[in-house]
Amino acid sequence: MTVSRVLNGKKGVRPETRKRVLKAIEETGYIPNSLARSFTLQKTKTIGLVIADITNPFFTTLARGVENIAAKNQFSVIFCSTDEDREKEALYLEILVRKRVDGIILAPATQKGDSLKSILIKRIPIVLVDRELKSPKNLDLDIVKGDSVYGAYILTKHLLSLGHRRIGIVVGSREISTAEERVQGYKEALIEMGIPVEESLIKFSSYSEEGGYTATKELLQMRERPTAIFGGNNFITVGAITAIKEAELRIPHDVALVSFGDIDFLSQIYPFFTVVTQPAYSMGVIAAELLIRKIEGRDKVKEKREVVLKPELVIRESAGELLTKEVRAKEFCSA
Amino acid sequence: MTVSRVLNGKKGVRPETRKRVLKAIEETGYIPNSLARSFTLQKTKTIGLVIADITNPFFTTLARGVENIAAKNQFSVIFCSTDEDREKEALYLEILVRKRVDGIILAPATQKGDSLKSILIKRIPIVLVDRELKSPKNLDLDIVKGDSVYGAYILTKHLLSLGHRRIGIVVGSREISTAEERVQGYKEALIEMGIPVEESLIKFSSYSEEGGYTATKELLQMRERPTAIFGGNNFITVGAITAIKEAELRIPHDVALVSFGDIDFLSQIYPFFTVVTQPAYSMGVIAAELLIRKIEGRDKVKEKREVVLKPELVIRESAGELLTKEVRAKEFCSA
DNA sequence: GGTATAATTGTTACCGGTAACATAAAAAGC
DNA sequence: GCTTTTTATGTTACCGGTAACAATTATACC
């Protein structure tokens, strides 16, 4: 009908007719049905964003980036929190395919991409963020990620440079690529210094406070206690702090603590923890741009695209620059 | 077709036929098209959640509650961040109506509900969260909110009980109901103590760090500086801290600082700030349950439902219990 | 003014489900 | 075995858009 032409700004409608249509729309309070439109056009102008937890500032910042780019291109975003649960992930992916989203941005809960089968069959464009997939082989999905190996490497080197030799590390599940990569970077730094890697100092736990707390507790109970602990993400570090407090140890006097991923709010108010930060917002922006280009067929490149963003080391006080630390602490406690 | 019957678990299909259908589905990798389904059924099993900012922990926690209840009832959630911008809000609402969501949960950016016209026309169920609407009159939408008046009242009373008499307050825009209510609670507490309300101590700014920073700076530059500052939400408080630090003042020695809304992460690690907390997760849960009941027509009540959750005062150290404070600070600075 | 041409408006079919009905097959009853 | 009843499967129309084409009306041109 002519209405469709008017609403889509197509040419070939007399100005007067256009006006009449617009008036009728106004009067009847007509609102187009995107469902019907998407249905005929076979495109929904919607992308799915599947992440671990909308409560984690890293992911919300990333999500913000995705949303802003999506809005700029008239796309809506459906958010899904998997809680690192592969079944929930599979369920959400299935729902997204059913809803016929035009594309998906996924931070996979595991390195096994079995739940992607249907997406691949339907040839829905997909971009991974933050985390790699190991199988199926030759999947070659585009990915936007941080350089976890490098980040862990420089963070560990920093600890080593301060004289630490027994460094405990707590990361997420072995199922998640970043956990393996962070451990790898940690090992590389140790090996470079000729320090033997002690497996009992490496804890694959979960990217949660609970996980950080439990694993740190174990590390602190070792006969020969580590002098430093490496928190694998923001949540783990927060859990580690609780464990360290509980053991009545002081940071960094008794044990140093550093974190992969900054600790929102806290660091802003009281920049105490030495961390490696990741550009979460940019990751979201880049992933969304890439995805939308793929959706719109503007991305001619056939090969797997891999965007790796360098994390940045922010040296503060939790690793043990005692002098500065005490001054700053005093400042804060009464600031 | 029989397939539809099988997938919807309808009776009247021979077990053997069902098996055959299921096998065929498996083999062809068939995935139902919810778009078509929603289109015919005139329901999408989707709700829209319109909030200010997915980056604000208060809203993400609320969102989490909504999402969990939604998932439990096989509903999907579309998130929209308005950035407190009424135009963005109107745009998102329009999109949600076009997408024919079954219901909407809204934290309105302003107290004027003009952008709701189309929703009301389409008779889409809607539940407000966190914030009231003032107009149009007699709108009487269901709402789940915290008791801002009461929360601000007890927080202010706490400051008064510690001897503060000049208390500055920074809240969000006057356009937002919680801002007005928090100021009202603040005034009530003062009036009860017979302390004259000084308008220059009341700053309607914006619920953002920037807003908190700027307004606090102004308060601190007054000839007669307030001895305490009341941060209207978590972001404002963070901004206030920056301003106080910049002025080289100490908390609480030189100026006390309390917050409406807890400061995520920070409070967990270092429980320093005296705050009033709101049950964000519960708000999300209740709002979602209410909405879904309305969608499914299980809510027979005609009148406006108003669920008001009481906030809780958490006394810590930023308001000035000096002794405890110093001990704790020491603990943390080396904890 | 009449025809050729261009611009505008109208018509039909389709996207993929489901409700409602029609038909076909199986089970029951005599 | 044949009808009746029950159960299982098939058919049609519709939801509300849009593409492709058809029909109509306006404009250009001689």
Provide the CATH number for the domain around residue B301: 3.40.50.2300
At residue A332, the pLDDT reads: 46
B 4-33: CB within 7 Å of strand D: 5, 11-14, 16-17
Q: What is the pLDDT of residue B121?
A: 81
Window 28-47 of B: residues touching A by CB (8 A cutoff) are 29, 31-36, 38-39, 44
Interface with chain B: mutation pick from A7, A28, A30, A31, highest number of B CBs within 10 Å = A31
Same domain, A67 and A161: no
Least confident of A11-15, A30-34, A173-177: A11-15
Q: Is the CB of A13 under 7 A from strand C?
A: yes
pLDDT at B211 over 50: yes
Residue A327 has pLDDT above 70, yes or no: no
Contact B264 A264 (CB under 8 A): yes
Which residues, 6+ apart, have CB-to-CB distance to B257 below 8 Å?
Answer: B228, B229, B231, B237, B240, B241, B244, B251, B273, B318, B319
Tell me the residues of chain B between 273 and 302 that have a Cβ less than 8 Å away from chain A: none
Please check whether strand C approaches the CB of B7 to within 7 Å: yes
Same domain, A166 and A268: yes
Residue B4 has pLDDT above 60, yes or no: yes
Q: Is the CB atom of residue B4 positioned under 7 angstroms from any atom of strand C?
A: yes
Cβ < 7 Å from strand D, B residues 30-59: 39-40, 42
Phi, psi of A309 (to 5 degrees): -95, 135
- Per-residue pLDDT reduced to its tens digit, B286-319: 999 999 999 998 887 778 899 999 999 999 989 8
What number is the average pLDDT over the span B218-245? 97
In a domain, B223, yes or no: yes
- Looking at residue A126, its amino acid is I
Confirm whether any atom of chain C, the nucleic acid strand, is less than 7 Å from CB of A40. yes
Q: What is the pLDDT of residue A10?
A: 83
Counting every residue, how long is chain A? 335
Yes or no, beta carbons of A33 and B100 under 8 Å apart:
yes
Q: Which residues of A310-321 are buried (b: 16+ CB within 10 A; e: fewer)?
A: ebeebebbbbbe
Mean pLDDT (whole number) for A158-166: 95
Least confident of A146-160, B19-33, B57-71: B19-33
Is B28 contained in some domain? yes
Verify that B329 and B297 share a domain, yes or no: no
Q: What is the mean pLDDT of chain B?
A: 92
Q: Is residue A37 part of a domain?
A: no
Please name the residue ranges forming H helices in B193-321.
209-220, 234-246, 266-269, 280-295
What would you report as the CA-atom Rg of chain B, rounded to the nearest whole angstrom?
A: 24
Distance of CA A330 to CAs A261, A335, B122, B317, Å? 25, 8, 59, 15
CB < 8 Å from A in window 243-272 of B: 244-245, 249-251, 253, 263-266, 268-270
Q: Residue A171 has what pLDDT?
A: 98
Beta bridge pairs of residue A170? A203, A231
Q: What is the average per-residue pLDDT within A230-258?
A: 96
- Contacts with B269 (C-beta within 8 Å, 6 or more apart), sequence order: A238, A241, A242, A263, A266, B332
pLDDT at position B301 is: 79
In a domain, residue B38? The reply is: no
CB–CB of B329 and A333 under 8 A?
yes
Going by pLDDT thresholds of 50, 70 and 90, the confidence category of residue A16 is confident
Give the CA-to-C1' distance from B44 to D5 in angstroms. 39
- Domain check: are B143 and B290 in the same one? yes
pLDDT tens, position by position, A258-315: 999 999 989 988 899 999 999 999 999 999 999 999 999 888 777 889 999 999 999 9
Residue B24, pLDDT > 70, answer yes
- For helices B148-161 and B177-192, the axis angle rounded to 10 degrees is 40
| A76: nearest CB among B44, B78, B97 | B78
Residue type, B228: A
> Would B37 be classed as within a structural domain?
no
**What is the model's pLDDT at position B1?**
67
- Residue A82 in 3-state DSSP? coil
* Band of residue A31 on the pLDDT scale cut at 50, 70, 90: very high
Range B104-119 average pLDDT: 92
pLDDT above 70 covers a percentage of chain A that reads 95
B270, B154: one domain: yes
> Looking at residue B14, what is its pLDDT?
82
Average pLDDT, chain A: 92
Same domain, B193 and B285: no
What is the count of structural domains for chain B?
A: 3
Interface size A-B, in CB pairs within 8 Å, comes to: 152
Asked, for residue A39, whether it belongs to a domain, the answer is no
- Protein-contacted bases of chain D (C-beta within 7 A): 7-11, 14-19
- Tokens found for residue A36: 């019907």
What pLDDT band is residue A321 in, cutting at 50, 70 and 90?
low
**Domain-embedded: residue B10:** yes
Q: What is the mean pLDDT of residues B172-192?
A: 98
Q: What is the mean pLDDT of residues B65-84?
A: 95
Q: Render pLDDT for A218-227 as a digit per residue (tens, 0 to 9).
A: 999 999 999 9
Residue B321 pLDDT class (50, 70, 90 cuts)? low
Closest chain A C-alpha to B163 CA, distance in angstroms? 19
Same domain, yes or no, for B114 and B263? no
Residue range of the domain that includes B129: 44-147+280-310
- CB contact (8 A) between residue A33 and residue B61: no
Which among A29, A32, A99 has CB closest to B121?
A29
Same domain, A297 and A193: no
Are B178 and B130 within 8 A, CB to CB? yes
Residue with the bigger pLDDT between B21 and B236: it is: B236
Taking residues A243-259, what's their average pLDDT? 96
Residues of A in contact with B29 (CB under 8 A): 117-118, 121
**Cβ A28 to strand D below 7 Å:** no
User: Is B324 inside any structural domain?
Assistant: yes
The neighbour count for residue A26, using CB atoms within 10 Å, is 9
Mean pLDDT score, A182-200:
97
Residues B181 and B162 in one domain: yes
Residues B219 and B89 in one domain: no
Structural contact between residues A187 and A197, judged by C-beta atoms closer than 8 angstroms? yes
Kindly state whether residues B273 and B295 are assigned to the same domain.
no
Are A160 and A205 part of one and the same domain?
yes
Over the stretch A75-114, which tens digit does the pLDDT of each residue have? 999 999 999 999 999 999 999 999 999 999 999 999 999 8
